[in-house]
Chain A
């Protein structure tokens, strides 16, 4: 680590506060399918900032906050208005509103460029690296102003979400119930939009809009992959947000050094770091991760292979050796290891336990064939393939149901006996 200074500590601390307050809101945006509203609001505050500049001629925090908050809320309100009055689909209406407002902001900024020093890219990237230079005296310490502002935003979000957690929850899950209970879901929606706008504005100056969007969406999405419950999802998202901030700053000052450069944008790297954590969650999340999904699929395929080998041995015992090629050594050895089959003098035979299981499988297969041909009018040659799949996923209840529905048939459509118990086939 090259030179981790007090400045770096302030930068990371400020970034963490921003990330936490965004990620907290992001959970509710995600479950309401409003993630892109975060993106829209952060773009659309540009004209608010520009107008605040033009009116006051200064870059004071207060007018900027107000201008941006108004623009943010306007985005949400206009989106709803256009989608309702014009019957435009919500995401299209959102797209119309925020791109228009953003373009308006750009034009205003260029028009005003000679009056105030205002740069649109500052809104995009922020100036996180410079935050420690602009300080206020607080209790005898010099604290970066951005740190104070973001701490206030985080406190506000934590208070509102803490107090209204269940109201937000029911409003997001079941707006009908929420309305029937008198909780005003529409009002809650607007409140969420106002919070998002205020948070975006508070973070703007320092971290820029990319990081706001990234922290609104990515940690919550990663957390959603990790868990199925809202409280733990919130906890995960906060953890991931904080970890992204630390990792992002490290990446910004360290990674370019590997290629012979100095450092790069901390905000950009924090977004990348959040993406990295999301990638980790996507791969390794316990139930919903790609790896877990793949393992489940492999496990299922393995079981099916084993069961096919078992059934095939049984069919050999039925003295129809031409019916099907025998299972491969690979599967036979695995059957042996599980005590389902054993090598004998005349080749492989089923053990008692193996036979019981095999009978069940073959019985299932042939009952399904019977059922598909008799009740579903499937051609007998097609019934085999369907039964091949069904036999692996049929519960014993369903099997009994099939048996009863077919009036306990003795033979399958190909004329083979449907076995009923585990005695060796005649």
Chain B
């Protein structure tokens, strides 16, 4: 039996580790006729800050959407804390890519955050004062309380991202999926987001983040999934985030690799 790409070997057989927040078994996803993800076998352990990295078009967003049932997988089985998705929806928070919504929409920042509570509020019931108070609380945690009444198109990109993050926070989920929350945000926002992600992790939550910046992977994340249409490697950052796997993930794109190699060397020397 050979499994040369993965140091982290998933346990054999269909039953997965009990501590896994997400277990994906043999999942294949296709858009139109081309498979985007092939035969993904993956366990994401609970209580970690997990980065999903890989080149453009590697299927990072697709992986998250497939786990959430937002795109249909051709085959495969997904378990969230050992149960099928439908039974665990309430445990999951999702932060989509910022470009995926219409920012001209006539709602305020607070309204957007309150949307995170809709599931908890349930069908037919209205958003009430306590919900708004909690939403404002979440906005305060991301440093956006003074923008609560702003219409969302009047916010900068970084601020919009923080609003999305606040919306995830207010859900108080056990498992978060975030699609490129650090893409195109200013340095201040990046620090706020990273601090919050760590707080979530320290509170025992599992946070899965699609990430694009190889230089910061080691600093920010303790678990990494390296993806390029199939899982190249998955495991603790210290074990799998090395040159060899990066090469297999990113191919010969040297500029990126050199940066990453530098980062690896820096950390090793520390």
Contacts and interface: CB of A to CB of B under 8 A. Distances in A.
Direct contact of A and B (CB under 8 A): yes
Interface of A: 31, 163-167, 169-170, 172-174, 176-177, 179-183, 224, 227-230, 233
B70 A180 contact: yes
Contacts of A176: 65, 70, 94, 96, 100
Given A164-B124, A180-B70, A170 B105 contact: no
Given A174-B100, A177-B94, A180-B68, A169 B126 contact: no
11 contacts: A169-B115, A173-B112, A176-B100, A177-B94, A177-B167, A179-B69, A180-B92, A181-B119, A183-B119, A183-B123, A233-B106
A167 B123 contact: yes
Contact of A181 (B105, B118, B127): B118
Contacts of B108: 228-229
Contacts of A170: 115, 118
A166 B118 contact: yes
Contacts of B112: 173
Given A173-B101, A181-B89, A183-B118, A229 B126 contact: no
Given A166-B127, A167-B118, A177 B96 contact: yes
A310 B83 CA distance: 71
Interface of B: 65, 68-70, 86, 89, 92, 94, 96, 100-102, 105-108, 111-112, 115, 118-119, 121, 123-124, 126-127, 151, 153, 167
Contacts of A169: 107, 111, 115
A306 to B, nearest CB: 26
Contacts of A233: 106
B115 A172 contact: no
Contacts of A228: 106, 108, 151, 153
Nearest to A27: B106
B70 A179 contact: yes
A166 B125 CA distance: 8
Contacts of B118: 166-167, 170, 181, 183
- Most chain A beta-carbon contacts within 10 A, residue among B70, B100, B108, B118: B118
Contacts of B151: 228-229
B209 to A, nearest CB: 16
A314 to B, nearest CB: 33
A166 B121 contact: yes
- Most chain B beta-carbon contacts within 10 A, residue among A164, A176, A177, A180: A177
A227 B105 CA distance: 11
Contact of B119 (A165, A173, A182, A230): A182
Nearest to B32: A87
B106 A163 contact: no
Contacts of A181: 89, 118-119
Contacts of A230: 106-107, 111
A341 to B, nearest CB: 36
- Most chain B beta-carbon contacts within 10 A, residue among A164, A170, A230: A170
